[in-house]
Amino acid sequence: MATKNLQLNQLTGEKTYTEIVFQKVWGRVEAYRKTHPQQKIFMMAFGDTTQPLTPTVVQALVDATNRLGDPKTYTGYEDITGNPTLRKAICANYYQQNLGIKLDPSGIFISDGAQSASVNIQELFAPDNKVAVQNPAYPSFVEGTLLAGRTLVNLICDEQNNFVPKLPEEKVDLIYLCFPNNPTGAVATKECLKAFVDYAKSCQAVIIFDAVYSPFITTPNIPRSIYEIAGAQECAIEIGSFSKMANFTGLRVGWCVIPEALTIQNTVPGELNHLWRIRHAVKFWGTANISQYGAIAALSSAGQKECQEVVNYYLQNARLLREGLAEYGLKCFGGVDSPFVWVKAPQGLSSWQFFEKMLQSRGIVGIPGCIFGSSGEGYLRLSTLGQREEIVAALENN
Ligand code: PLP
Protein backbone atom coordinates (compact mmCIF):
# COMPACT_ATOMS: atom_id res chain seq x y z
CA MET A 1 0.00 0.00 0.00
CA ALA A 2 1.45 3.31 -1.05
CA THR A 3 1.21 6.22 1.39
CA LYS A 4 1.93 9.86 0.74
CA ASN A 5 5.07 11.71 1.79
CA LEU A 6 3.80 13.64 4.82
CA GLN A 7 6.54 16.28 4.51
CA LEU A 8 4.73 17.52 1.39
CA ASN A 9 1.74 18.48 3.55
CA GLN A 10 3.85 21.45 4.63
CA LEU A 11 3.41 22.82 1.14
CA THR A 12 -0.39 22.73 0.92
CA GLY A 13 -3.27 24.75 2.36
CA GLU A 14 -2.03 28.25 1.48
CA LYS A 15 1.20 27.76 3.40
CA THR A 16 3.49 28.40 0.47
CA TYR A 17 4.27 31.41 -1.68
CA THR A 18 2.90 29.85 -4.86
CA GLU A 19 -0.38 28.84 -3.24
CA ILE A 20 -0.86 32.22 -1.57
CA VAL A 21 -0.01 34.13 -4.73
CA PHE A 22 -2.23 32.10 -7.02
CA GLN A 23 -5.14 31.74 -4.65
CA LYS A 24 -5.17 34.91 -2.56
CA VAL A 25 -3.43 37.54 -4.72
CA TRP A 26 -4.64 36.29 -8.08
CA GLY A 27 -8.07 35.40 -6.66
CA ARG A 28 -8.47 38.92 -5.28
CA VAL A 29 -7.45 40.50 -8.62
CA GLU A 30 -9.90 38.32 -10.56
CA ALA A 31 -12.73 39.20 -8.16
CA TYR A 32 -11.86 42.90 -8.46
CA ARG A 33 -11.81 42.69 -12.26
CA LYS A 34 -15.35 41.28 -12.25
CA THR A 35 -16.73 44.10 -10.11
CA HIS A 36 -14.65 46.83 -11.81
CA PRO A 37 -14.52 45.85 -15.50
CA GLN A 38 -13.52 49.42 -16.54
CA GLN A 39 -10.49 49.61 -14.25
CA LYS A 40 -7.20 48.96 -16.01
CA ILE A 41 -5.03 46.48 -14.11
CA PHE A 42 -1.23 46.80 -14.11
CA MET A 43 0.41 43.53 -13.18
CA MET A 44 3.61 44.12 -11.27
CA ALA A 45 3.29 41.06 -9.12
CA PHE A 46 5.25 38.38 -10.90
CA GLY A 47 9.01 38.31 -11.36
CA ASP A 48 8.63 36.96 -14.87
CA THR A 49 10.37 38.53 -17.86
CA THR A 50 8.45 40.10 -20.75
CA GLN A 51 11.09 41.08 -23.31
CA PRO A 52 11.94 38.69 -26.16
CA LEU A 53 15.12 36.70 -26.51
CA THR A 54 17.85 38.72 -28.18
CA PRO A 55 18.71 38.18 -31.90
CA THR A 56 22.04 36.44 -31.17
CA VAL A 57 20.31 33.97 -28.86
CA VAL A 58 17.45 33.36 -31.32
CA GLN A 59 19.92 32.64 -34.13
CA ALA A 60 21.82 30.16 -31.92
CA LEU A 61 18.56 28.38 -31.05
CA VAL A 62 17.57 28.13 -34.73
CA ASP A 63 21.03 26.80 -35.65
CA ALA A 64 20.95 24.28 -32.79
CA THR A 65 17.49 23.09 -33.86
CA ASN A 66 18.68 22.63 -37.43
CA ARG A 67 21.68 20.61 -36.26
CA LEU A 68 19.37 18.35 -34.28
CA GLY A 69 17.19 17.86 -37.36
CA ASP A 70 20.10 16.67 -39.46
CA PRO A 71 21.37 13.06 -39.07
CA LYS A 72 24.92 14.24 -39.76
CA THR A 73 24.95 16.75 -36.88
CA TYR A 74 22.39 15.24 -34.50
CA THR A 75 23.53 14.86 -30.86
CA GLY A 76 21.75 13.21 -27.93
CA TYR A 77 22.50 13.37 -24.23
CA GLU A 78 24.70 16.23 -23.09
CA ASP A 79 27.44 15.98 -20.51
CA ILE A 80 25.32 15.70 -17.33
CA THR A 81 27.11 18.58 -15.62
CA GLY A 82 26.42 20.78 -18.64
CA ASN A 83 27.75 21.54 -22.09
CA PRO A 84 31.55 21.96 -21.67
CA THR A 85 31.58 25.04 -23.94
CA LEU A 86 28.94 26.68 -21.77
CA ARG A 87 30.78 25.83 -18.54
CA LYS A 88 33.97 27.31 -20.03
CA ALA A 89 32.11 30.44 -21.21
CA ILE A 90 30.65 30.99 -17.73
CA CYS A 91 34.20 30.89 -16.31
CA ALA A 92 35.92 32.87 -19.07
CA ASN A 93 33.29 35.42 -20.12
CA TYR A 94 31.05 35.86 -17.09
CA TYR A 95 33.47 35.45 -14.18
CA GLN A 96 36.98 36.14 -15.52
CA GLN A 97 36.34 38.80 -18.16
CA ASN A 98 33.50 40.66 -16.42
CA LEU A 99 34.39 40.23 -12.76
CA GLY A 100 38.07 39.29 -12.73
CA ILE A 101 37.31 36.04 -10.89
CA LYS A 102 39.20 32.87 -11.76
CA LEU A 103 37.13 29.68 -11.56
CA ASP A 104 37.68 26.26 -13.07
CA PRO A 105 34.95 24.87 -15.39
CA SER A 106 34.99 21.66 -13.32
CA GLY A 107 33.35 23.69 -10.54
CA ILE A 108 30.37 24.71 -12.73
CA PHE A 109 27.16 22.65 -12.84
CA ILE A 110 24.50 23.66 -15.37
CA SER A 111 20.92 23.37 -14.14
CA ASP A 112 17.42 24.05 -15.40
CA GLY A 113 17.44 27.49 -13.80
CA ALA A 114 18.45 28.64 -10.35
CA GLN A 115 15.30 27.46 -8.59
CA SER A 116 16.00 23.74 -8.53
CA ALA A 117 19.70 24.20 -7.75
CA SER A 118 19.10 26.61 -4.87
CA VAL A 119 16.81 24.16 -3.07
CA ASN A 120 18.32 20.83 -4.13
CA ILE A 121 21.80 21.88 -3.02
CA GLN A 122 20.70 21.19 0.56
CA GLU A 123 21.01 17.47 -0.27
CA LEU A 124 24.78 17.86 0.12
CA PHE A 125 24.42 18.53 3.83
CA ALA A 126 23.48 16.56 6.93
CA PRO A 127 19.80 16.66 7.99
CA ASP A 128 20.60 18.29 11.35
CA ASN A 129 22.34 21.30 9.77
CA LYS A 130 20.76 24.61 10.80
CA VAL A 131 19.88 27.00 7.99
CA ALA A 132 19.94 30.80 8.23
CA VAL A 133 17.72 32.69 5.79
CA GLN A 134 17.09 36.39 5.26
CA ASN A 135 13.66 37.56 6.42
CA PRO A 136 12.01 38.68 4.13
CA ALA A 137 13.37 36.16 1.61
CA TYR A 138 12.83 34.55 -1.74
CA PRO A 139 10.31 31.94 -0.54
CA SER A 140 11.88 28.74 -1.85
CA PHE A 141 14.88 29.13 0.51
CA VAL A 142 12.45 28.88 3.43
CA GLU A 143 10.14 26.30 1.87
CA GLY A 144 13.03 24.09 0.72
CA THR A 145 14.47 24.19 4.24
CA LEU A 146 11.14 23.23 5.84
CA LEU A 147 10.64 20.49 3.28
CA ALA A 148 14.04 19.07 4.22
CA GLY A 149 12.94 19.11 7.89
CA ARG A 150 15.77 21.45 8.90
CA THR A 151 15.74 24.15 11.57
CA LEU A 152 15.40 27.67 10.23
CA VAL A 153 17.09 30.73 11.72
CA ASN A 154 15.82 34.16 10.61
CA LEU A 155 18.23 36.91 9.60
CA ILE A 156 16.13 40.03 9.98
CA CYS A 157 16.33 42.59 7.16
CA ASP A 158 14.60 45.87 7.86
CA GLU A 159 14.83 49.58 7.26
CA GLN A 160 17.25 50.00 10.20
CA ASN A 161 19.85 47.70 8.65
CA ASN A 162 19.15 48.78 5.04
CA PHE A 163 17.68 45.30 4.47
CA VAL A 164 21.13 43.73 4.89
CA PRO A 165 21.23 41.31 7.84
CA LYS A 166 23.66 41.16 10.72
CA LEU A 167 25.65 37.97 11.26
CA PRO A 168 23.70 35.13 12.91
CA GLU A 169 23.77 35.38 16.70
CA GLU A 170 23.67 31.62 17.12
CA LYS A 171 25.82 29.07 15.33
CA VAL A 172 24.36 28.03 11.97
CA ASP A 173 25.65 25.64 9.31
CA LEU A 174 24.15 26.90 6.04
CA ILE A 175 23.46 30.55 5.20
CA TYR A 176 21.34 31.63 2.25
CA LEU A 177 22.26 35.10 1.04
CA CYS A 178 20.61 36.70 -1.97
CA PHE A 179 22.03 39.96 -3.39
CA PRO A 180 20.70 41.94 -5.16
CA ASN A 181 17.83 40.80 -3.04
CA ASN A 182 14.44 39.58 -4.04
CA PRO A 183 12.12 41.02 -2.66
CA THR A 184 13.77 44.13 -1.16
CA GLY A 185 16.16 45.02 -4.02
CA ALA A 186 18.92 45.62 -1.44
CA VAL A 187 22.60 45.04 -2.26
CA ALA A 188 25.47 44.14 0.07
CA THR A 189 28.82 45.92 0.26
CA LYS A 190 32.19 44.13 0.16
CA GLU A 191 32.58 44.71 3.91
CA CYS A 192 29.25 43.07 4.66
CA LEU A 193 29.97 40.03 2.48
CA LYS A 194 33.47 39.76 3.96
CA ALA A 195 31.94 39.58 7.45
CA PHE A 196 29.76 36.65 6.30
CA VAL A 197 32.71 34.91 4.63
CA ASP A 198 34.81 35.34 7.81
CA TYR A 199 31.91 33.99 9.90
CA ALA A 200 31.44 30.99 7.58
CA LYS A 201 35.16 30.19 7.61
CA SER A 202 35.38 30.53 11.38
CA CYS A 203 32.65 27.92 12.00
CA GLN A 204 32.90 25.87 8.79
CA ALA A 205 29.48 27.00 7.64
CA VAL A 206 28.59 27.21 3.93
CA ILE A 207 27.11 30.29 2.26
CA ILE A 208 24.66 29.58 -0.55
CA PHE A 209 24.85 32.81 -2.51
CA ASP A 210 22.00 33.50 -4.91
CA ALA A 211 23.41 35.93 -7.49
CA VAL A 212 20.56 35.67 -10.01
CA TYR A 213 20.16 39.47 -10.14
CA SER A 214 23.84 40.42 -10.11
CA PRO A 215 23.82 41.63 -13.77
CA PHE A 216 21.46 44.38 -12.53
CA ILE A 217 24.11 45.95 -10.28
CA THR A 218 24.98 49.47 -11.40
CA THR A 219 26.27 51.00 -8.15
CA PRO A 220 30.10 51.11 -8.20
CA ASN A 221 32.04 48.80 -5.86
CA ILE A 222 29.11 46.52 -5.07
CA PRO A 223 30.24 42.89 -5.49
CA ARG A 224 28.52 40.92 -8.24
CA SER A 225 29.72 37.61 -6.94
CA ILE A 226 30.56 36.25 -3.51
CA TYR A 227 33.88 35.14 -5.05
CA GLU A 228 34.97 38.79 -5.17
CA ILE A 229 35.62 38.28 -1.45
CA ALA A 230 38.97 36.65 -0.60
CA GLY A 231 38.52 33.15 0.80
CA ALA A 232 34.94 32.74 -0.46
CA GLN A 233 35.85 29.77 -2.68
CA GLU A 234 36.57 27.85 0.53
CA CYS A 235 33.12 28.47 2.05
CA ALA A 236 30.57 29.46 -0.60
CA ILE A 237 28.43 27.98 -3.33
CA GLU A 238 27.12 30.49 -5.87
CA ILE A 239 23.99 30.18 -7.93
CA GLY A 240 23.42 32.09 -11.17
CA SER A 241 20.82 32.12 -13.90
CA PHE A 242 20.14 33.27 -17.45
CA SER A 243 16.48 33.84 -16.53
CA LYS A 244 16.50 37.52 -15.73
CA MET A 245 19.67 38.66 -17.48
CA ALA A 246 18.75 37.08 -20.84
CA ASN A 247 14.95 36.47 -20.64
CA PHE A 248 15.46 32.71 -20.25
CA THR A 249 12.61 32.17 -17.75
CA GLY A 250 11.02 29.80 -20.27
CA LEU A 251 14.23 28.33 -21.73
CA ARG A 252 15.50 27.34 -18.25
CA VAL A 253 19.27 27.57 -17.84
CA GLY A 254 21.08 28.34 -14.61
CA TRP A 255 24.27 27.26 -12.91
CA CYS A 256 25.77 26.47 -9.59
CA VAL A 257 29.44 26.84 -8.61
CA ILE A 258 30.95 24.32 -6.20
CA PRO A 259 34.66 25.20 -6.10
CA GLU A 260 37.23 22.47 -5.47
CA ALA A 261 38.45 24.49 -2.48
CA LEU A 262 35.10 24.29 -0.67
CA THR A 263 35.40 22.09 2.40
CA ILE A 264 33.43 21.48 5.56
CA GLN A 265 34.14 19.57 8.75
CA ASN A 266 34.05 16.03 7.33
CA THR A 267 35.13 16.55 3.70
CA VAL A 268 38.40 16.97 1.83
CA PRO A 269 38.86 19.56 -0.99
CA GLY A 270 36.94 18.51 -4.10
CA GLU A 271 34.67 16.09 -2.24
CA LEU A 272 31.53 18.26 -2.22
CA ASN A 273 32.06 18.95 -5.92
CA HIS A 274 32.38 15.20 -6.55
CA LEU A 275 29.29 14.39 -4.48
CA TRP A 276 27.23 16.94 -6.42
CA ARG A 277 28.46 15.35 -9.66
CA ILE A 278 27.19 11.99 -8.42
CA ARG A 279 23.92 13.52 -7.33
CA HIS A 280 23.54 15.00 -10.85
CA ALA A 281 24.12 11.56 -12.34
CA VAL A 282 21.46 9.95 -10.14
CA LYS A 283 18.77 12.64 -10.06
CA PHE A 284 19.35 14.98 -13.01
CA TRP A 285 20.57 14.25 -16.48
CA GLY A 286 21.16 17.75 -17.69
CA THR A 287 19.45 20.77 -19.14
CA ALA A 288 17.99 20.78 -22.67
CA ASN A 289 20.85 20.94 -25.18
CA ILE A 290 19.10 23.61 -27.30
CA SER A 291 18.70 25.91 -24.28
CA GLN A 292 22.38 25.51 -23.45
CA TYR A 293 23.33 26.60 -26.99
CA GLY A 294 21.19 29.68 -26.40
CA ALA A 295 23.09 30.34 -23.15
CA ILE A 296 26.46 30.04 -24.92
CA ALA A 297 25.26 32.67 -27.40
CA ALA A 298 24.08 34.92 -24.56
CA LEU A 299 27.66 34.92 -23.22
CA SER A 300 29.28 35.78 -26.58
CA SER A 301 30.36 39.40 -26.88
CA ALA A 302 27.37 40.27 -29.10
CA GLY A 303 25.05 38.30 -26.80
CA GLN A 304 26.31 40.01 -23.66
CA LYS A 305 25.90 43.43 -25.24
CA GLU A 306 22.30 42.65 -26.24
CA CYS A 307 21.49 41.14 -22.83
CA GLN A 308 22.87 44.22 -21.08
CA GLU A 309 20.45 46.33 -23.13
CA VAL A 310 17.59 44.18 -21.87
CA VAL A 311 18.77 44.56 -18.27
CA ASN A 312 19.05 48.32 -18.81
CA TYR A 313 15.49 48.38 -20.11
CA TYR A 314 14.22 46.73 -16.91
CA LEU A 315 16.38 49.03 -14.78
CA GLN A 316 14.94 52.05 -16.56
CA ASN A 317 11.45 50.69 -15.77
CA ALA A 318 12.52 50.43 -12.14
CA ARG A 319 13.82 54.00 -12.10
CA LEU A 320 10.60 55.37 -13.62
CA LEU A 321 8.44 53.46 -11.17
CA ARG A 322 10.53 54.37 -8.13
CA GLU A 323 10.63 58.06 -9.03
CA GLY A 324 6.96 58.12 -10.03
CA LEU A 325 5.80 56.55 -6.78
CA ALA A 326 8.10 58.83 -4.78
CA GLU A 327 6.36 61.80 -6.40
CA TYR A 328 3.12 60.49 -4.95
CA GLY A 329 4.76 60.52 -1.52
CA LEU A 330 5.52 56.79 -1.26
CA LYS A 331 8.80 55.65 0.29
CA CYS A 332 10.56 53.23 -2.05
CA PHE A 333 13.59 50.99 -1.60
CA GLY A 334 15.45 48.89 -4.18
CA GLY A 335 14.90 49.42 -7.89
CA VAL A 336 18.45 50.74 -8.42
CA ASP A 337 20.51 47.55 -8.72
CA SER A 338 17.50 45.31 -9.04
CA PRO A 339 14.22 44.98 -10.96
CA PHE A 340 12.25 45.02 -7.68
CA VAL A 341 10.88 48.11 -5.99
CA TRP A 342 10.06 47.58 -2.31
CA VAL A 343 7.42 50.12 -1.35
CA LYS A 344 6.68 51.04 2.24
CA ALA A 345 3.00 51.10 3.14
CA PRO A 346 1.97 54.63 4.18
CA GLN A 347 0.10 55.51 7.36
CA GLY A 348 0.98 52.22 9.05
CA LEU A 349 -1.13 50.15 6.65
CA SER A 350 -0.50 46.41 6.64
CA SER A 351 0.88 44.73 3.50
CA TRP A 352 -2.55 43.46 2.54
CA GLN A 353 -4.26 46.81 3.20
CA PHE A 354 -1.63 48.52 1.03
CA PHE A 355 -2.06 45.86 -1.67
CA GLU A 356 -5.79 46.62 -1.67
CA LYS A 357 -5.24 50.39 -1.72
CA MET A 358 -2.83 50.21 -4.70
CA LEU A 359 -5.24 47.92 -6.57
CA GLN A 360 -8.25 50.15 -5.97
CA SER A 361 -6.61 53.55 -6.39
CA ARG A 362 -4.24 52.82 -9.32
CA GLY A 363 -4.95 49.33 -10.57
CA ILE A 364 -1.37 48.34 -9.58
CA VAL A 365 -0.95 44.75 -8.41
CA GLY A 366 2.07 43.87 -6.28
CA ILE A 367 2.88 41.12 -3.83
CA PRO A 368 2.19 41.90 -0.16
CA GLY A 369 5.58 41.94 1.59
CA CYS A 370 4.37 39.76 4.48
CA ILE A 371 4.26 36.78 2.07
CA PHE A 372 8.08 36.94 1.96
CA GLY A 373 8.38 36.70 5.74
CA SER A 374 7.29 38.47 8.91
CA SER A 375 9.80 41.32 8.38
CA GLY A 376 8.17 42.04 5.03
CA GLU A 377 4.99 43.16 6.82
CA GLY A 378 4.14 46.75 5.90
CA TYR A 379 5.63 46.60 2.38
CA LEU A 380 4.59 45.76 -1.17
CA ARG A 381 6.95 44.28 -3.78
CA LEU A 382 6.59 45.56 -7.32
CA SER A 383 8.35 43.87 -10.23
CA THR A 384 9.60 46.02 -13.11
CA LEU A 385 10.29 43.13 -15.47
CA GLY A 386 7.16 44.18 -17.40
CA GLN A 387 6.58 46.42 -20.41
CA ARG A 388 7.61 50.11 -20.30
CA GLU A 389 4.17 51.25 -21.52
CA GLU A 390 2.50 49.49 -18.58
CA ILE A 391 4.75 51.22 -16.04
CA VAL A 392 4.16 54.62 -17.64
CA ALA A 393 0.39 54.05 -17.90
CA ALA A 394 0.22 52.86 -14.29
CA LEU A 395 1.90 56.05 -13.08
CA GLU A 396 -0.49 58.17 -15.14
CA ASN A 397 -3.55 56.31 -13.81
CA ASN A 398 -4.72 58.56 -10.97
N1 PLP B 1 16.42 32.99 -7.07
C2 PLP B 1 15.77 34.16 -6.99
C3 PLP B 1 16.20 35.13 -5.94
C4 PLP B 1 14.71 34.46 -7.83
O5 PLP B 1 14.06 35.62 -7.72
C6 PLP B 1 14.32 33.51 -8.80
C7 PLP B 1 13.20 33.75 -9.70
O8 PLP B 1 12.44 34.66 -9.62
C9 PLP B 1 15.03 32.30 -8.85
C10 PLP B 1 16.07 32.07 -7.98
C11 PLP B 1 14.67 31.25 -9.85
O12 PLP B 1 15.16 31.60 -11.08
P13 PLP B 1 15.24 30.57 -12.30
O14 PLP B 1 14.25 31.05 -13.31
O15 PLP B 1 16.64 30.67 -12.78
O16 PLP B 1 14.90 29.21 -11.79
Q: What is the pLDDT of residues 78-99, one digit of tens each?
A: 899 999 999 999 999 999 999 9
Confidence of residue 4 (pLDDT cuts 50, 70, 90): confident
Q: What is the pLDDT of residues 126-182, one digit of tens each?
A: 999 999 999 999 999 999 998 898 999 999 999 999 999 999 999 999 999 999 999
Average pLDDT, the chain: 96
One domain, residues 219 and 318: no
Is the CB of 243 within 6 Å of ligand 1? Answer: yes
Q: Look at the chain and report how many structural domains it folds into.
A: 2
One domain, residues 256 and 375: no
**What local confidence, expressed as pLDDT, does residue 12 receive?**
74
Is the CB of 47 within 6 Å of ligand 1? Answer: yes
One domain, residues 43 and 90: no
One domain, residues 335 and 276: no
For residue 371, which of 167, 142, 29, 153 has the smallest C-alpha distance? 142
For residue 50, which of 246, 247, 212 has the smallest C-alpha distance? 247
Q: Which residues contact 319 (CB under 8 A, 6 or more apart)?
A: 335, 336
User: How far apart are the CA of 121 and the centre of ligand 1, in A?
Assistant: 14
Structure-model confidence comparison of residues 15 and 323, the more confident one: 323
One domain, residues 311 and 355: yes
User: How far apart are the CA of 114 and the centre of ligand 1, in A?
Assistant: 5
User: How far apart are the CA of 261 and the centre of ligand 1, in A?
Assistant: 26
In a domain, 339, yes or no: yes
Confidence of residue 381 (pLDDT cuts 50, 70, 90): very high
**What local confidence, expressed as pLDDT, does residue 312 receive?**
98
What is the distance between the alpha carbons of residues 387 and 316, in angstroms, rounded to a whole number?
A: 11
Is the CB of 241 within 6 Å of ligand 1? Answer: yes
In a domain, 4, yes or no: no
Pairing of strands 364-365, 367-368: unpaired
One domain, residues 189 and 338: no
One domain, residues 126 and 176: yes
For residue 244, which of 169, 341, 329, 312 has the smallest C-alpha distance? 312
Confidence of residue 33 (pLDDT cuts 50, 70, 90): very high
User: How far apart are the CA of 27 and the centre of ligand 1, in A?
Assistant: 23
In a domain, 1, yes or no: no
Is the CB of 157 within 6 Å of ligand 1? Answer: no
pTM greater than the 0.95 cutoff: yes
One domain, residues 172 and 88: yes
Query: Taking 80 as the threshold, does the pLDDT of residue 13 lie above it?
Result: no
Q: 230: domain CATH number?
A: 3.40.640.10
Is the CB of 234 within 6 Å of ligand 1? Answer: no
Is the CB of 134 within 6 Å of ligand 1? Answer: no
Sheet with 174-178: strands ordered across: 108-111, 254-257, 236-241, 206-210, 174-178, 131-135, 152-156
143 torsion bin: left (phi>0), alpha (psi -120 to 50), beta (else): alpha
* Percent of the chain with pLDDT strictly greater than 70: 100
Is the CB of 136 within 6 Å of ligand 1? Answer: no
For residue 44, which of 384, 315, 377 has the smallest C-alpha distance? 384
Is the CB of 145 within 6 Å of ligand 1? Answer: no
Which atom of ligand 1 lies at the shortest distance from residue 138's CA?
A: 3
| Substitution candidate for ligand 1 out of 116, 182, 287 with most atoms within 8 A of CB | 182
In a domain, 3, yes or no: no
Of 285, 301, 317, which one is at a domain's C-terminal end?
A: 301
Is the CB of 386 within 6 Å of ligand 1? Answer: no
Nearest CA to ligand 1 atom 5: 182
**What local confidence, expressed as pLDDT, does residue 16 receive?**
86
One domain, residues 61 and 48: no
Residue 40: give the domain boundaries: 10-52+303-396
| Substitution candidate for ligand 1 out of 112, 209, 243 with most atoms within 8 A of CB | 243
Of 301, 330, 347, which one is at a domain's C-terminal end?
A: 301
One domain, residues 271 and 323: no
User: How far apart are the CA of 115 and the centre of ligand 1, in A?
Assistant: 5
Q: What is the pLDDT of residues 241-250, one digit of tens each?
A: 999 999 999 9
Which atom of ligand 1 lies at the shortest distance from residue 116's CA?
A: 16
In a domain, 240, yes or no: yes
One domain, residues 158 and 72: yes
Of 256, 273, 301, which one is at a domain's C-terminal end?
A: 301
Is the CB of 335 within 6 Å of ligand 1? Answer: no
What is the distance between the alpha carbons of residues 137 and 178, in angstroms, rounded to a whole number?
A: 8
**What local confidence, expressed as pLDDT, does residue 397 receive?**
78
One domain, residues 38 and 75: no
In a domain, 2, yes or no: no
Q: 20: domain CATH number?
A: 3.90.1150.10
Query: Taking 80 as the threshold, does the pLDDT of residue 266 lie above it?
Result: yes
Contact 101, 126 (CB under 8 A): no
Contact 363, 37 (CB under 8 A): no
In a domain, 30, yes or no: yes
**What local confidence, expressed as pLDDT, does residue 105 receive?**
98
Query: Taking 80 as the threshold, does the pLDDT of residue 398 lie above it?
Result: no
